[in-house]
Structure 1
């Protein structure tokens, strides 16, 4: 009876060994697949990083002229502000001058009136 028992035990053991080997093979396949996935993910991330780097460089080439345009527009804006201030000062001076000119336009008329009055007094 022992040989049958041994035969049964050896069948169970060999079956268990086959099951363990199958599990090991399955785990090995999973590890290989994970490694392949990891390396392909790494390649994908590297490719995406290169693409992003190229996009950044392209955007920087576009931003540089925009920045120059912005700086030029700031310079033009400051020049326009200076011109506007000068024009306002000139307008203020013109307004003051017009008042002064009005005062001075009455001077000859006033002088003529005084001259006429002094002649009138002198000849009376």
Structure 2
């Protein structure tokens, strides 16, 4: 009987693992939230859609220093007359001021009143 043919694919794969098959090796690669946001932001830009639609980015609308509206938040972390801290999909938002009160809130929107000194992303 004749010789059996042996595939050389495995040998070729081992030799060229660092070049040809490198793009397929995703076993140890984890995508960080920052990279994911960047991808989603680039997707929204290429589709010409507002970023908040795809990413779920928080929207903060201020009216002077006495009122603000926060949209697309997930939960309230801290609430007193000097600090209101909320969790969003992209991080935490901290509103600092005096006589701060939450006038109303729904599942994804809240209205804050009082004298606002600062708005921080933490």
TM-score with structure 2 setting the length:
0.23
Structure with the greater relative contact order (CA < 8 A, sep ≥ 6): 1 or 2? 2
Structure with bigger strand share is: 2
Structure with bigger helix share is: 1
